C-alpha cells in the first residue's frame, strides 16, 4: 500500500511544494484517495479533497456532454454546418460540421498558435470573443474537413459558442443549470471573463530552477478549458456518467464511438479514437475513455475503465508533473483496486 502513496510515487513533490490529489472510484465508492502538497504555496494551505483545480483540457468532456444534450433535445445535429451558428467563418470554414469540431477533424488552426503570433500567450484577457476574432481573420483551413485528425482547442471554443448561441446562456450558466446543478457539483464552475471568486481554489505553479512561480491563468477561453473543479465533484461527474441523469442511453453511445473520417475510417490510430471530449483507448487490457489536461501550471487526468466501473482521477497544481510516472501510478491503482 505504501508504494501507492503519492509521497512515495511522485518524488518531485513534498509537503511544502505544489502537489497532487487522487481518487480511485470503484462502482461509486472511493477505494483509494490521497493528497500531497499545497493548494497555495504563498499561504501554506494544504491540498484537500475539496480543493478546486483548473481542469484545463479535462474541461472538454463537459462541452461534449452539452453538445450531446442539445442533439438529444433536437436543437442541433452532428451534420449541422458550423456556419449555421457562426456565420462569421463562412468565407473559409463553410463545410465544417459540428461532428468534425467534436472529433478534432475540422482543420481549424489552434487558437494557442494564433495567440503566440500576437505575443499574447501569457495574456489574462484572451476570451472566446477574441479567439473568434482571430479565427475570423484566417483565410483557409489546415486541411479538408473530415480528412484527418488534428487536435485543436479552437474546435471546442467554437462548440462553446454554438451552445451559447442556441441556448442564450453563457457556457458557465448552461453547465451550471444542465450538468453541475443536476448532479450536485456545487464546487465546480467555468472560469470565464467574469473571473469569479472560487472558494478553496488551488493555484497553478511552474518550477523555475529551485523556485516555484505562480501562474494564475493563460487565457479565459471556455469550451476547451477553464472548468474549475475538485476531486469530490469529479467523483460525482464520474458516477453520473453511468446513469441517465444527464443523457439517455442511446445518445450516450456516442461517447464510446471513435470519430470517423469522411470515408468512414477511424480518424486516429494513436489514441484509438476521440469522441465528444474523450480519448478512446485500451489500457491495462481494458477499454477506457480518458482525457488529460495541462494549462497555467495545472495538470489533470481522468481515466475511466468503464466496463469495470473503475476510474482514476488525478489533479495537480504543478506543471512539472511527470506523465510517465502518472500513467504508471494509474496502472498500479488499477491492478490493486479494480
pLDDT the model gives residue 75: 98
For the chain, the structural domain boundaries read 2-337
Q: Report the C-alpha gap between 229 and 307 in whole angstroms.
A: 25
245, 182 contact by CB (below 8 A): yes
Rounded-to-integer distance, Cα 97 and Cα 80, Å: 5
Measured between alpha carbons, how far is 228 from 295 in angstroms, rounded to an integer? 12
Alpha-carbon distance 100 to 277, whole Å?
A: 12
DSSP 272-293: S-EETTEEEEEETTEEEEEEEE
Q: What is the pLDDT of residue 270?
A: 62
Banded pLDDT at 219 (limits 50, 70, 90) = confident
Whether residue 116 is predicted with pLDDT greater than 80 in this model: the reply is no
Compute CA 13 distance to the chain's CA centroid, rounded to the nearest angstrom.
Answer: 24
Residue 266's pLDDT is 86
Beta-strand relationship, 227-229 and 211-215: unpaired
Average pLDDT, the chain: 94
3-state SS track over 219-249: CCCCCCCCEEECHHHHHHHHHHCCCCCCCCH
For 284-308, how does the pLDDT look when each residue is reduced to its tens digit (9 = 90+)? 999 999 999 999 999 999 999 999 9
Sign of CA dihedral 11, 15, 17, 22: positive
* Residues making up the chain, counted from first to last: 338
The whole-model pTM stands at 0.96
pLDDT of residue 2: 60
Please enumerate in sequence order all residues whose Cβ is within 8 A of that of 228, keeping only pairs 6 or more positions apart, or say none. 52, 53, 54, 55, 188, 189, 190, 191, 198, 201
Task: Average the pLDDT over each of 121-135, 218-232, 323-337 and give the range with the smallest value.
Answer: 121-135
Cα–Cα distance, 53 to 55 (Å, whole number):
6
Pairwise CA distance, residues 19 & 204, whole Å: 10
Q: Which residues pair with 26 in a beta bridge?
A: 29, 310
pLDDT in tens, 161-209: 999 999 999 999 999 999 999 999 999 999 998 888 999 999 999 998 8
Strands 274-275 and 278-283: antiparallel
DSSP state of 57: G
**What DSSP string runs through 119-180?**
T-TT-S---HHHHHHHHHT----SS-TTS-----HHHHHHHHHHHHHHHSS-HHHHHIIIII
Handedness of CA 180, 125, 213, 325 (dihedral sign): positive
pLDDT at 142 > cutoff 90: yes
For the chain, the first-to-last Cα distance in angstroms comes to: 14
Give the span between the Cα atoms of 6 and 23, in whole angstroms. Answer: 11
CATH code: domain 2-337 is 3.40.710.10
Count of helix runs (H) and strand runs (E) in the chain? 11, 14
What digits encode the pLDDT tens for the residues 88-101?
A: 999 999 999 999 99
- State residue 119's pLDDT score: 57
How crowded is the C-beta side of 59, counted as CA atoms within 13 Å?
Answer: 33
Contact 122, 112 (CB under 8 A): no
Give the pLDDT mean for 213-234: 92
pLDDT of residue 138: 96
Q: Compute CA 225 distance to the chain's CA centroid, rounded to the nearest angstrom.
A: 6
Tens of pLDDT, residues 241-275: 999 999 999 999 999 999 999 889 888 766 679 99
Residue 120's pLDDT is 52
Exposed / middle / buried, residue 246 (Cβ in 10 Å: 0-12, 13-18, 19+): buried
Cell of 71: 442533439
The predicted structure's pLDDT at residue 210: 83
Amino acid at each position: 500500500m505504501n508504494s501507492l502513496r503519492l509521497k512515495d510515487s511522485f518524488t518531485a513533490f513534498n509537503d511544502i511544494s505544489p502537489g497532487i490529489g487522487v481518487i480511485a472510484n470503484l462502482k461509486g465508492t472511493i477505494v483509494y484517495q490521497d493528497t500531497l502538497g499545497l493548494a497555495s504555496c504563498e499561504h501554506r494551505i494544504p491540498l484537500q479533497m475539496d480543493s478546486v483545480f483548473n481542469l484545463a483540457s479535462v474541461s472538454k468532456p463537459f462541452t461534449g456532454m452539452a453538445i450531446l444534450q442539445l442533439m438529444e433535445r433536437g436543437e442541433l445535429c452532428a451534420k449541422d454546418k458550423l456556419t449555421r451558428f457562426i456565420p462569421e467563418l463562412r468565407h473559409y470554414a463553410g463545410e465544417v460540421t459540428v461532428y468534425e469540431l467534436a472529433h478534432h477533424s475540422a482543420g481549424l488552426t489552434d487558437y494557442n498558435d494564433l495567440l503566440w503570433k500576437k505575443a499574447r500567450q501569457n495574456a489574462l484577457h484572451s476570451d472566446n470573443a477574441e479567439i473568434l476574432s482571430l479565427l475570423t481573420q484566417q483565410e483557409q483551413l489546415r486541411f479538408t474537413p473530415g480528412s484527418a485528425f488534428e487536435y485543436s482547442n479552437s474546435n471546442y471554443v467554437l462548440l462553446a459558442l454554438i451552445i451559447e448561441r442556441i441556448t442564450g446562456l453563457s457556457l458557465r450558466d448552461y453547465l451550471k443549470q444542465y450538468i453541475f446543478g443536476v448532479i450536485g457539483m456545487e464546487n465546480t464552475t467555468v472560469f470565464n471573463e467574469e473571473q469569479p471568486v472560487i472558494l478553496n481554489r488551488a493555484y497553478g505553479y511552474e518550477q523555475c530552477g529551485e523556485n516555484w512561480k505562480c501562474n494564475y491563468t493563460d487565457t479565459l477561453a471556455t469550451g476547451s478549458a477553464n472548468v474549475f473543479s475538485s476531486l469530490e465533484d469529479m467523483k460525482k461527474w464520474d458516477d453520473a456518467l453511468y446513469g441517465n441523469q444527464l443523457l439517455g442511453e442511446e445518445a450516450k453511445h456516442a461517447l464510446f464511438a471513435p470519430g470517423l473520417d469522411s470515408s468512414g475510417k477511424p480518424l486516429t490510430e494513436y489514441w484509438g479514437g476521440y469522441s465528444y471530449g474523450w480519448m478512446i483507448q485500451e489500457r491495462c487490457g481494458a477499454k477506457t475513455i480518458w482525457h488529460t489536461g495541462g494549462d497555467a501550471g495545472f495538470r489533470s487526468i481522468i481515466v475511466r475503465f468503464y466496463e469495470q466501473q473503475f476510474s482514476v482521477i488525478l489533479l495537480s497544481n504543478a506543471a512539472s508533473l511527470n506523465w510517465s510516472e502518472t500513467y504508471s501510478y494509474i496502472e498500479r491503482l488499477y491492478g490493486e483496486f479494480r
